[in-house]
Amino acid sequence: MTEKPIDIPEGWDIGGNTNGGYLMLRAAQFMREQAQSAVAVTVTGHFLRPVPSGPAALTCEEIKRGRLLTTMRGDLLVAGRPALTLLGAFSDLDRQGQGSEFLRGSPPSLPPLEECVPAWHVPTAEVLFQRVPIRCAKDDRTTLGGHRSGTGELEAWIAPPEGAEVATCDDLLLLVDCFPPPVFDLDLPINWTPTVELTVHVRGVPEPGWLRARCSTRYVRDGLLEESVELWDSADRLVAQSRQLAVEPRGSNTLRTD
């Protein structure tokens, strides 16, 4: 097993809890490097406890090295205790363009970027949403503070992190988890929605430019909800899919969005 000390910087959090996508990005990068592969094809993370900024460590070990995929297992440790445990399959890019193709879905239909507005504003996460800007149609913005459509859906533009012209395949692991939870469009509190499990599938290398996202929650039951995200690049290609299980937000509204 290989171990690497890291530091979790400030500014990737909401209310002191580091964004789950950022944690998955950091851990999966290390796992991919140890696998000596070009891209994470699929990564599943189970979130065991909140992670604050500060010192941490990453560990990983190889489970199986095959002809197409290398499977790795890893952990993110805080004070020696696992806070995130992951299983991922990694590969190179030689498969791109091979095999059959069946596309039932299509990219979200969004207004031009210049006609859109910030998706939400959370005072306790200003740095995060400066690093990863999100823009949506003006009508959709009201679902986070006033009118709610009750559909549990959100479509938005999202920029590559830190103002880059193009998102990397690693970046996709972060970007799928940066949106306002679409469950906020339902008649539920706008409050912390802890992730239990997150799975990300990387489907392609993004072209330069902003990405378009479709986010949805279809089922809330027994205190848990599911959330699905699709990311489409500027060439109308699906480049990432994710699905997560999260805890239903409870109590009164604690995330101010204005």
Domain end (from 64, 93, 122) = 93
Spatial CA neighbour of 51 closest among 28, 1, 85, 74: 85
Claim to verify: residue 205 and residue 145 sit in the same structural domain: yes
User: What's the domain range around 256?
Assistant: 112-258
| pTM (2 d.p.) | 0.92
Per-position pLDDT tens, the chain of length 258: 899 999 999 999 887 889 999 999 999 999 999 999 999 999 999 999 999 999 999 999 999 999 889 999 999 999 999 999 999 999 986 666 677 888 888 999 999 999 998 877 776 677 888 899 999 887 665 455 556 778 889 899 999 998 888 999 999 999 999 998 888 888 888 888 899 999 999 999 999 999 999 999 999 999 999 999 999 999 999 999 999 999 998 876 666 555
Claim to verify: residue 194 and residue 258 sit in the same structural domain: yes
How far apart, in whole angstroms, are the C-alpha atoms of residue 118 and residue 133? 7
Q: What angle do CA 197, 203, 208 make, to 5 degrees?
A: 115
254 within domain boundaries: yes
Claim to verify: residue 24 and residue 88 sit in the same structural domain: yes
Structural domain total, the chain? 2
Claim to verify: residue 166 and residue 246 sit in the same structural domain: yes
194 within domain boundaries: yes
246 within domain boundaries: yes
- Residues 6 or more apart whose CB falls under 8 angstroms from that of 112 comprise none
State the DSSP string of 158-177. EPPGGG-SS--HHHHHHHTT
Which of helix, strand or coil describes residue 38? Answer: coil
Q: How far apart are the first and last CA of the chain?
A: 46
Which of helix, strand or coil describes residue 103? Answer: coil
